[in-house]
């Protein structure tokens, strides 16, 4: 039975990390035409809200509609690694 202990523990961590990944890390409301973020490529977007999630994504909305998604969603071992470092 103990032969599966590592596999079960990794799956437990993965499930916890996937739930944690949905959480919000930060919210940034600004005018893209006057403020440049490190990932900024579209100053024409004007006044926007950027929400950064724990999984690394940045979702940009304007007038309650998603207009851009920056970054890639972490999955698998990469997600578990980041979760483990943050906890």
Q: What is the pLDDT of residues 26-60, one digit of tens each?
A: 999 999 999 888 888 899 999 999 999 999 999 99
Looking at residue 48, its pLDDT comes to: 96
Tell me if the pTM is above 0.85: no
Nearest to 56 by CA among 67, 37, 69: 69
Confidence band for 1, pLDDT divided at 50, 70 and 90: low
Domain ranges, ordered by start, for the chain: 2-86
Q: Give the Cα separation of 32 and 41 in Å (integer).
A: 9
According to DSSP, residue 26 is labeled E
Q: What is the 3-state secondary structure (H, E, C) of 63-85?
A: CCEEEEEECCCCCHHHHHHHHHH
Looking at residue 68, its pLDDT comes to: 94
According to DSSP, residue 43 is labeled G
């Amino acid at each position: 039975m103990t032969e599966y202990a590592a596999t079960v523990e990794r799956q437990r961590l993965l499930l916890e990390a996937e739930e944690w990944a949905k959480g919000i890390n930060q919210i940034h409301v600004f005018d893209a035409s006057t403020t440049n973020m490190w990932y900024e490529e579209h100053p024409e977007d004007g006044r926007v809200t950027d929400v950064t999630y724990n999984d690394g994504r940045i979702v940009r909305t304007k007038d309650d509609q998603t207009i851009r998604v920056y970054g890639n969603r972490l999955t698998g071992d990469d997600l578990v690694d980041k979760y483990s470092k943050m906890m």
